Amino acid sequence: MEITSQVGIQDYQLQTQIILLVSQFSAAVLSFIVIPAYFMRKYESKKLNFFFNSDFIKLNPVMITIGLTLSVMVVNSLLIEWNLNIDFPESISAKLDYFEEQGRLMTEYLTDFHSLPYFLLVLIVVAIVPAIGEELLFRGLIQKYLQGIWGNPHVAIWVTAMFFSAFHMQFYGFVPRMALGAFFGYLFYVSGNLWYASIAHFINNGFTLLMIYLFQKEMVDYDIESTETVSAWSTLTFAIIGAVLFVLFKKQFHITDNLRNE
C-alpha cells in the first residue's frame, strides 16, 4: 500500500512538472521568439537569419566562446556571492526574500531530475529556448534598438543587460546576471551574429543543469548550487584565461563600428 502511494505521488509530481514546463515553454516561445520574429518581419522587413546567420558560424570562435563562457561563470561566482550578502533595508527585504524563496522553490521542484528524458525536457525549456529567445529579444532587438538611438554600443549593451537582469526578478542575483547579460551583449557586438551569444547563453544554463543532474545521480561530488566560495587564485586564473580568450574571439572578426548591428 505504501509503495503504491509513493508511486502515485511520483506520478503526480511528474505530471505537475511537465505541465509547468509546457506552460513555460509555450510562454517563452510566444514572448521571445514568435512576437519578436513577427515584429521584425512586419516593421523591419527582416527574417530571423538576419541575426542568426549560420553562414558565418565558424568552429574556432565557437570553441573560444565555450571556453570563454566557462571562464566567465567562474569569475561571476564572486559577484554571485557578493550580491547574496547585500543587506537591503528592512522595508523591502521581506518582499525580496519572499520572491527569492518562491523562485528557489520553483527551481528546486523543476530540477528534481528523476530520469534522463525529464532532464532533457528541462534542458530544452530552461537552456535551449532561452538561449535563442532571450537573445533575440534582448540583444537582437532591444540592444540593437538602443544602439541605434544613442550611437554608443557600450551604453546600449549595459542598459540592455540591466533590463535582462531585472526581467528575471531575482534581486539577490541582479548584479551577476547583469554582468552575464553584458557578456552576451559584447559577444553579439563583436561578432554581429546572435549565434555566439546564444551558444554562450546555452552553455551557462545547460552546464548548470548538467552539473545539478550529475550531482543528483551521485556522478560528481561538487554541488554547483552550493554557496562555496571559489578561491581568489582560481578566480584570477580564470579571469586571465577569459581575457585572453576574449582577445582571441575579437580577432576572429573584423569590427568597423560593427556596422552589421547598426
Task: Annotate 75-115 with DSSP letters as a single string.
Answer: HHHHHHHHHHT----HHHHHHHHHHHHHHHHHHHHHT---S
**59-94 residue pLDDT tens:** 899 999 999 999 999 999 888 888 877 777 776 777
Quickly list DSSP for 166-197.
HHTT-GGGHHHHHHHHHHHHHHHHHHS-HHHH
**127-154 residue pLDDT tens:** 999 999 999 999 989 999 999 999 999 9
Burial label, 235 (beta-carbon count in 10 A; 0-12, 13-18, 19+):
middle
Cell triple for 216: 543528483
Q: Any idea of the CA torsion for 167, 172, 176, 182, to the nearest 10 degrees?
A: 20
**188-247 residue pLDDT tens:** 999 989 999 999 999 999 999 999 999 999 898 888 877 666 778 888 999 999 999 999
**Contact of 12 with 114, CB cutoff 8 Å:** no
Q: Which of 139, 149, 251 is nearest to 186 (CA)?
A: 139
CA neighbours closer than 13 Å in the CB half-sphere of residue 31: 11
Residue type, 57: I
* Other residues' Cβ atoms within 10 Å of the Cβ of residue 124: 11
